[in-house]
Every structure is written in C-alpha cells, then in structure tokens.
Structure 1
Amino acid sequence: MATFTSSDDLHGAEFVEVDLTGARISGADLSEVVMRGVIVRETEIDAPWLAQQERSLIVNGVDVTAYVEAELDRRFPGREQRRAPDPAGLRQAWAAAETAWATALARAAAMPPGTVATSVDGEWSFAQTLRHLVMATDAWLGRGVLGIEQPFHPLGLAFTGVTDDELDLSLFTSTEPTYDEVLAARAERVAMVRDYLDAVTPEALDEPRNNPWAPERPATVRSCLHVVLREEWEHLRYVVRDLDAIESPCS
C-alpha cells in the first residue's frame, strides 16, 4: 500500500479513475479539493474546524455546513453554547461541557478494565484525550488568557505532529501516567476554567491577547475561551465515538 506523508508535495495533483477504496487520510489539508463523479459509499469525513472555515462544504451543490453543525448541537446538548459572548453565557457553556464530560467519564468507568487505555483506529485513547485537554487548557487559558510563561502540566499531551520548534516537548513526561493521575490533572484544569469564568467581567472578555501558537494573530480573552470550549466539545465527540466502537466493535 502506498503511503504519502508531509514530505510528499501533492499540491495541485490530479487523481483520475484511481481506486481509493479503504484509503485513510489524516491531518491533510483538503482545501479547495474538487471531486467529480466520485463514489462515496460509506465515506467518512471528520473536519473539526468545519464551522470555523471561511468557505463552505458543498455536496452535490448543497452547502452542508449548517446542517452538520445543527445536527451535532442536537446530539450534544449544550454544544450550541460554545461561542457564548458574555460571562453568564460562558459560565452556562462551561457547566454544560462539564456535565457532558461527567457522563462520558461515568460511562468509561462502567466499561471493562482497560477501556480508557484502548485506542480505536490509531487515535488517542480516552485517557490520552483527557491529557490533551489538560494541555489545551494550559495553552489557551494558562498561556493565552493568563499570560503564564510556562503553564504546562507535565502530564499534558501535545497535539499530533507538534515539534520542539513549536513547543518545548521536554516539559511533558515521557512515561505513561496512571489513569488516576490523569483524572487528578484534568480535574485541576476543569476547576481552573470554572474559577476563571466565575470572576471574569464583560470588559475583560474584550481584552487583547496573543494566540499561544501564533503570537502574530490577534486574539481576545473571549476568543481564547471559545477555543477552550471548542476543544472540549470536539474531543467529547471523539471519545463518545470511540466508546461506541469499543462497545459494539462489529457495528
């Protein structure tokens, strides 16, 4: 099976009458890709930034972006609050995210031993996803909003593909922590967000901040908090999907 990686430049390439049955494309930029006369039976697309992209996703002449977002909001009650503009709305949004995650944590705890360490299709396990959310909170609240120079918990897990040029990976543990340690670190960060939102003012939300990954990009306290919420809901979607797959491996 042929494998193409970031070192292969396929920009502007044409694929004519090729058989891509069973192909897997991960972390790729498919902006402005045009597909004509394609067979998409059981094709699966996961685009977590769908609602943030400047242009639409067109299927057979129909923009499906709004439909997808509305359906995800229906499936995950409270998700629709993730872009709340004011302190009261943000507090409600965070409470909804906490409730949804509490349900997922309880579900995982009730499943067979080893569930939280199980990877589905090479994706992060439940425990690893929690570790990533620790890192995301540290980046967008700790560094982005609070301006802490080194906010990162050692149990945090950086996103796939990050390099030492982007983030000092020596800050993070190279050993696999216990699940109890992961839960403790996650609980600390959840409380940190809750405490910040309890005290934030409308004026503070408009204060300028630096994007923690791209300081040249303008950001505000509000936009950083919106990223925190988006991370929560997107990764909740992933763990629910994977818990479903673990419970019903043949479905």
Structure 2
Amino acid sequence: MATFGPTDDLHGAEFVDTDLRGARFVGADLSGVVMRGVQVEGLEIEAPWLFDGETFLLVDGVDVIPLVDAELNRRFPGRADRRATDPERLATAWDALERTWAATLARVDTMPAGTVDVSVAGEWSFAQTLRHLVLATDTWLRKAILHEEQPYHPYGLIDAATADDGFDVSVLARDAPSYVDILEVRAGRVAMVRDVIAGVTPELLASARPNPHDPAYPETVLSCLHTILEEEWEHHRYAVRDLDVIEGGTGA
C-alpha cells in the first residue's frame, strides 16, 4: 500500500481510472478537488470547517453543506445555537451543551470498564477527547478571554501539532491521568465557561482579544466563545460516533 506524507506534493495531481478504494485521507487539503464520473459508495467525510459560512461542497451540482448542517442540528438539539450573539442565547446554548454532555457521560458510565480508553481507528479515546476540551477551554477562555498568565492545566492533552503552536509543553502532563481526575478538571472548566457566559454583556462580547495562537489576528470575546462552542459540539459528535462503533463491536 502506497503512503503519502507531508513531503509528498500532490498539488494539482490528476488521477485517471485510478483505484482509490479504501484510501484514507487524514489532515489532507482536498479543497478545490474536482471529481468526475467517480464511484463514491460508502465515501465518508469528516470536515468541521465546512460550516464556517465561507465554503461550499457540491454533489451533483447541489451544495450539501446547508443540508448537512440542518441534519446535524436535528440530531443534536441545541447545536443550532452555537453561534448565538447575545448573552441570553449564549446562556441557553451553553446549558444545552451541558445537558448533552451529561447524557453522554451517563451513557459511558453504563458501558464496559475501559471504554473511555478505547481508540477507534486511531482517533482520540473518550478520555483523551475530554482532555483536549480542557486544553481548548484553557486556550480560548483562560488565555484569550481572561488573560491568565498560566492558563493551562497539566491534564490538557498535548500533541506534536499543538506543541509547535506556542504552548508551554513543560506545564503539561506526560502521564495519562485517571478518568476520575479528568472528569473533575473537565467539570471545573465547564463551570468556568458557564460563569463567564452568565456575566457577559453586549459590550464585553464585542471587546477585543488577541488570538491565542497568533496575537496579530484580532478576536472578540464573542468569537472566542463561539470557538469554544464549536469545539464542544464537534468533539461531542466525534465522541458519540466512536461510542456507537464501540457498542457495535466493530472498528475499534
């Protein structure tokens, strides 16, 4: 099986009568790809950036992004409020997220021991997903909005990509904490977001903040909260997708 990595430049390549059955693209840039007369039965795409309002995805001439967005909103009640712009709706949006995650945590509690550490097809385990969300909250709330000098908790999940993105790796744990400890820290971060949203005003939401990854790019408190909401909903979707696979006994 051929494997292509970051050093392989396939930009503008043309594939004619090529057998790509079972191929896997991870972190690949497929923007602008044109497919004509292709067999796509069973094709699966995970692309959270489709919903930023500036992209389109045509299937037989139909932009399917609005259709997918609407279906995800149907499947995950409360997701449609992730771009709320006023304090009241933001509070409603966060409350919906808390209830959604609470139901999922309750589901995990009923599953066999060790479920939280199972990786499906190389994706983060459930426990790792919660650790990532600790890191995301620390980045966009504690660092970006609150300007804390040491925003990161040791349980925040760190990987090579984020290590190269300006994070202080020395403050992040190398050894995996227990699931109970992860839940405790995660609950604290959820409460922090809830408290901040409860106290926001329209003026505060519009106030400027530096992007936590690159201060040259401006953000607002509202855009930082929107990023947190997007992170929460997308990773919840990934988590329940993989829990379904684990319960079904395939693909783990």
**TM-score, normalization by structure 1:** 0.96
Aligned to 1:156: 156
Aligned to 1:172: 172
Report the 3-state secondary structure (helix = DSSP H, G, I; strand = E; otherwise coil) of the residue aligned with 1:228. helix
Aligned to 1:109: 109
Aligned to 1:47: 47
Following the alignment from structure 1 to structure 2, what is the Cα–Cα distance between the partners of residues 23 and 93?
Answer: 37
* Structure 1 unaligned blocks of 5 or more: none
Shift of 1:165: 4.9
Q: What does residue range 7-156 of structure 1 map to in structure 2 within 5 Å?
A: 7-52=7-52, 54-156=54-156
Aligned to 2:235: 235
> Residue type matched to 2:3 in 1?
T
Shift of 1:160: 6.2
**TM-score, normalization by structure 2:** 0.96
- Using a 3 Å threshold, how does the CA distance of structure 1 residues 198 and 214 change in structure 2: closer, same or farther? same
- Using a 3 Å threshold, how does the CA distance of structure 1 residues 163 and 17 change in structure 2: closer, same or farther? farther
Following the alignment from structure 2 to structure 1, what is the Cα–Cα distance between the partners of residues 206 and 147?
Answer: 15
* Structure 2 unaligned blocks of 5 or more: none
> Residue type matched to 1:7 in 2?
T
Shift of 1:49: 1.1
Aligned to 2:189: 189
Report the 3-state secondary structure (helix = DSSP H, G, I; strand = E; otherwise coil) of the residue aligned with 1:209. strand
Indicate the percent of aligned positions where both proteins have the same amino acid.
59
Report the 3-state secondary structure (helix = DSSP H, G, I; strand = E; otherwise coil) of the residue aligned with 2:161. coil
Counterpart contact for 2:165–2:213, Cα < 8 Å = no
- Using a 3 Å threshold, how does the CA distance of structure 1 residues 81 and 165 change in structure 2: closer, same or farther? closer
Q: State the aligned residue count.
A: 251
Report the 3-state secondary structure (helix = DSSP H, G, I; strand = E; otherwise coil) of the residue aligned with 2:51. coil
List 4+ stretches of structure 1 deviating above 6 A.
Answer: none
Following the alignment from structure 1 to structure 2, what is the Cα–Cα distance between the partners of residues 156 and 231?
Answer: 14
Aligned to 2:223: 223
Q: Provide the aligned C-alpha RMSD in A.
A: 1.4
Following the alignment from structure 2 to structure 1, what is the Cα–Cα distance between the partners of residues 8 and 49?
Answer: 24
Counterpart contact for 1:132–1:159, Cα < 8 Å = no
Report the 3-state secondary structure (helix = DSSP H, G, I; strand = E; otherwise coil) of the residue aligned with 1:162. helix
